A and B are shown apart, each in its own frame.
Chain A
Amino acid sequence: MKRLVYLLPLVLFMGLAGYFLVALRPNHDVHELPSVMIDKPAPAFDLAGLGDPKPLALEALKGHPFVINFFASWCVPCRLEHPLLMRLSEQNHIPLYGIAYKDKPADSARLLANFGDPYRQVGIDQDGRVGLNFGVYGVPETYVIDSKGIIQKRFVGPLTAEAVDKELLPLLKKLGQS
């Protein structure tokens, strides 16, 4: 019995080491904050369109599943995912909408003019309030929303080809069928 007390530190440490091992597991980003908005209705928005007199409003988008991508011209990782967004819109023809988060409209427009415009429509969220309502804590972030306006999935950080092929596209397909 008395010897067990001396074993306690070792047992506690092994438990700790086990936790560390779990924390180190690959493909687990501890910095990623899971969204609490999943399975909840997307917050309503009605944003002025970029280079477009038509506003970007949630109500108008409902009826089909769609993807919203928060981006900004000042955001470096956004450039990283840009080619992928172009592919998504040009090859996969997904309903991709952009929200220019805390960005000057002229800068956003210049970005899209230089690198191509993957979005069906872009809304201007200059004060970042729509982003805040979505729980955006950094750009880029990408949301998949179903036809009823319920948030199904969030991607934090630049999209990767893997995430697009294995998660985003299958999810959209599933949402489109149901």
Chain B
Amino acid sequence: MITELGHFALILALFVALIQSIVPMIGAARRHVGWMAVGRSCALTGFALTALAMLSLMHAYVTSDFTVINVIENSHTDKPLLYKITGVWGNHEGSMLLWVFMLSLCAAAVAMFSDNLPPALRARVLAVQGMIAVGFLLFILLTSNPFLRTFPPAPDGNGLNPVLQDPGLAFHPPFLYLGYVGFSVAFAFAVAALIEGRVDAAWARWVRPWTLASWCALTIGIAMGSWWAYYTLGWGGWWFWDPVENASFMPWLVGTALIHSSIVVEKRDTLKSWTILLAIITFSLSLVGTFLVRSGVLTSVHAFATDPERGTFILLLLVAAIGGSLTLYAVRAPALKGGGLFAPISREGSLVLNNVLLSCGCATVFLGTLYPLFLDAMGGPKLSVGFPFFNRTFAPMMVPMIIAVGIGPMLAWKRGDLLGALQRLWVAYIATALVLLIAYYVTYGGPVLAVFGLGLAAWLGAAVLTEFADRVRLFRVPFGDSIRRAIHLPRSAYGMTFAHLGLAVSVAGFAASAYDKEAIEILKPGGTIAIAGYELTLEGVTRIPGPNYVADDAAIRVTRNGELVKVMHPERRFFPLQKQTTSETSIRTNFLTDLYVALGESDSEGNWTVRVYWKPLVPWIWIGCVIMAFGGVVSLSDRRWRVGAAARSPRRRGAEPLPAAGE
């Protein structure tokens, strides 16, 4: 009954989205206030309906309703409650529902928090979001319906893949999807702006918070996925350049470029058509990612049941959304006039460089991901494009970018003084030189590139701090004045400092992974492994029953110079239902280095394979991501973007006559 309610709500949501995509658009063209207002109520209703659909599917999972095919295929009565809930999006149909739910959430947020938007712009933005919703709702209802029933009910479900039964992974998709789908807001703003034919500072200011919020969610989502891979796979890998990872990384790269270019639009009234293009491309890449993952065109072994019908449907959606918006772009963008002039050496210039490098980086990832597919389609040989390719092409592009990130913020708008900026960065040179020397000395004979990477991270970190000190005039005015300046700095300035600092921290983490050490031994209880000054003793392995698995839990005593550091407990879990074994690693971190222990197989004589890795600075990778996302949130909290802030302005734009479209 509740399932049917959810199904019905989803169908209703389709019709509401249909109205949302047509009526406000006509209303905006005809300046009909009542028709424009329909967008808002539709967006809110649509959100309520998809939320209802989502909740009813969750209900089916939680109550283990085994008349619903989706529940049978992906759930089981023995599964812990948390995974019953998160199992909803652990499969193709449910994750598409989550996608649409996030989409309607974004549309509702736009509807709620857009009092300061001109009604026509708001109506058009909501209409574009309605169109996207129509596409995806049709996709769910026609090809991937999670509410289908079967009779008689199955005695029990097939269960969720044990690898997915993990708290870190359970919340990875919601963040990722919020990021992907959040970029639809920027996309809708871009399309609306193209229809209206105008992009100005105010437009950039409205788009920025949505882009920032999506970017933060995507950053966290990607970091969670990578962290999960790190602690699950049993050898500590955290990035594989596989097509599915790349599918999430590409929108991140272009989204980062978009955040930066929209600053230029806002401050300097230029780079307009480029920013519009970036907004379209960012969301387009999210859509292409969806297509790649779910259509089965890539050589990827993924558990989503792929079916050509779905692939064709998503391809049609792509052509409609991306093709349509790019056509509009080709027609309307040439009319967008850029204003502010600037010299190549200037803040704008550095942001343009950032955009060029990030876009080329994204294009490289795109090429590496899709080239095997192209070649195959052309009848060429089958190829693999793995990490060596990306290390040789993508990484070198990011080096000048990281160097530039340190310098760019020191340059003035319009015309910067590069020499002056470089002089003011003297502290950063010293810091970089010191780190280079120390790293080279400590790791003498080790990989030279890693030393270079650490130097790069040091440069960036020191430059960011120098820039901040420069801003508050530290040591040049009395300390109290500096504090006062720091307090009055806008939040967006803090946001930038944190985000760039986070990047520096992550880069250090990436670079230091070259220093990993490993020790793999077969141990009898009592046997020891030595690694990086630690001594690990296998004390014993005990069998412990879990809720839906049986675990072999090893007790491994870690000592350093004879003193106990920790007793670690890596496990091997056997899930009888799926007949699968998973490895539960044990990680001891002091935020500088990780000691990573995984339990391998055992033989009949009670010998266990134990894998130990010592990974310096590896936690910094994810700490850096969190700092980056935190920077985004801080910037988001800036009063200037705050919801309704402009409403305090005495003159309301809404009351003013709207410019004619395409002027």
User: Could you tell me which A residues sit within 8 Å of B by CB distance?
Assistant: 2-3, 6-7, 9-10, 13-14, 16-17, 19-24, 26, 30-31, 33-34
Contact = CB atoms under 8 A, between A and B. Distances in A.
A10 B318 contact: no
A82 B318 CA distance: 41
B500 to A, nearest CB: 29
Contacts of B308: 24, 26
Given A30-B373, A30-B376, A17 B326 contact: no
B282 to A, nearest CB: 13
Contacts of B288: 16
A130 B284 CA distance: 47
Contact of B327 (A10, A16, A19, A33): A10
Nearest to A30: B299
B449 interface: no
A20 B273 contact: no
A132 to B, nearest CB: 18
Contacts, number: 65
A2 B301 CA distance: 44
B377 interface: yes
Contact of B295 (A2, A13, A24): A24
Contacts of B318: 17, 20
Contacts of B377: 19, 22-23
B319 A17 contact: yes
Interface of B is mostly: helix
Given A19-B377, A30-B297, A6 B323 contact: no
A22 B298 CA distance: 12
A16 B373 CA distance: 11
A31 B376 CA distance: 11
Contact of A21 (B281, B298, B315): B315
Interface of B: 273, 277, 280-281, 284, 288, 291, 295-299, 301, 308, 311-312, 315, 318-319, 322-323, 326-327, 329-330, 333-334, 370, 373-374, 376-377, 381-382
Contact of A23 (B297, B301, B327, B381): B297
A10 B382 contact: no
Given A6-B330, A33-B382, A19 B323 contact: no
Contacts of A10: 323, 326-327, 329-330
Contact of B326 (A3, A13, A21, A31): A13
Contact of A7 (B295, B301, B319, B330): B330
Given A10-B329, A20-B315, A24-B311, A34 B382 contact: yes
B297 A3 contact: no
B326 A9 contact: yes
Nearest to B311: A24
A24 B326 contact: no
Given A6-B333, A34-B382, A20 B291 contact: yes
A157 to B, nearest CB: 14
Contact of A3 (B315, B330, B374): B330
Contacts of B327: 10
A31 B296 CA distance: 9
A62 B301 CA distance: 37
B308 to A, nearest CB: 6
A14 B284 CA distance: 13
Given A2-B334, A13-B323, A19-B374, A24 B382 contact: no
A10 B318 CA distance: 12
A6 B315 contact: no
A31 B334 contact: no
A30 B296 contact: yes
A13 B327 CA distance: 10
B363 to A, nearest CB: 10
A13 B291 CA distance: 14
A64 B318 CA distance: 52
